Structures are given as C-alpha cells and as structure tokens.
C-alpha cells in the first residue's frame, strides 16, 4: 500500500499501525484524537507545519511491509 497525502490518518494507521511512531517523531502526538480520524495526512501536516514530502518519505521508508 502506498501512503497518499489525501488519506486520513485513521486509514493510514489501520493499514500500517507502525506509522504511528513516524507521525509522533514528526510532532503529531494527537493521532488518536477525534479530529485526526477524519483529517487527511496533508491537512495534518499543514496544521503542524510539517513538510509533507519529508513526512511521506519517512513513512514510506519506515513502514515498507
């Protein structure tokens, strides 16, 4: 599965639970909150002032299975 910036955080975590560690490393500590379940990765990155390209690269590298 390829992680797409339009996917919700909940979708990503359902398919790749180890993505939580990467998100937390980037400062996204409220991945279990109600907003995160419906928020796209792209939107969350904007809110947290995170470079989406760096985040996607890290997610793909650390969740390869």
Could you give all domains of the chain from N- to C-terminal order, each with its CATH number?
Answer: 9-62 (1.10.3910.10)
Distance of CA 23 to the CA centre of its chain: 5
Task: Encode pLDDT of 19-36 as tens digits.
Answer: 999 999 999 887 777 777
pTM: 0.86
**Residue ranges in the chain whose pLDDT is less than 70:** 65
What's the Cα-to-Cα distance from 41 to each of 27, 55, rounded to whole Å? 13, 9
């Amino acid at each position: 599965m390829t992680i797409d910036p339009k996917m919700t955080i909940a979708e990503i975590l359902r398919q790749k639970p180890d993505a939580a560690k990467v998100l937390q490393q980037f400062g996204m500590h409220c991945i279990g909150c109600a907003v995160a379940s419906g928020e796209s990765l792209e939107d969350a990155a904007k809110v947290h002032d995170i470079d989406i390209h760096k985040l996607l690269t890290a997610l793909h590298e650390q969740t390869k299975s």
